């Protein structure tokens, strides 16, 4: 459960930390690494999941399923909830 919660928080935080990750990456690579916007979003998500996995490991381990499910729910949870709510309004 701890792994799921850490991953959900990391997924939720991905859009917010993406600009900081981009700034750090650009300063480190000196603009040699060209990523498209969708590639960079995936890169940011991977960095956040790596951080979540490290934290989960420090907290006593966890499952890969919990990490994956939590990350996806964190990243797409707001969109899923909005889609469900709009579907309910349209009925």
Locus of tokens 């981009």: 22
pLDDT over 70 (residue 45): yes
What's the pLDDT tens digit per position in 22-33?
888 878 875 677
* Cβ burial 42-69 (10 Å sphere, 16+ → b, else e): ebbbebbbeebbebbeeeeebeeebbeb
Tell me if 6 sits within 8 A of 70, measured CB to CB: yes
pTM: 0.74
The encoded tokens of residue 52 equal 């979540």
CA distance 34 to 89: 42
Mean pLDDT of the chain: 85
């Amino acid at each position: 459960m701890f792994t799921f919660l850490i991953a959900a928080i990391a997924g939720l935080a991905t859009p917010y930390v993406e600009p900081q990750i981009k700034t750090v990456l650009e300063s480190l690579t000196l603009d040699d690494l060209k990523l498209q916007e969708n590639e960079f979003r995936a890169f940011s998500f991977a960095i956040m999941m790596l951080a979540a996995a490290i934290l989960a490991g420090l907290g006593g381990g966890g499952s890969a399923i919990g990490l994956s499910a939590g990350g996806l729910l964190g990243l797409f949870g707001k969109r899923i909830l909005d889609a469900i709510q709009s579907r309910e309004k349209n009925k």
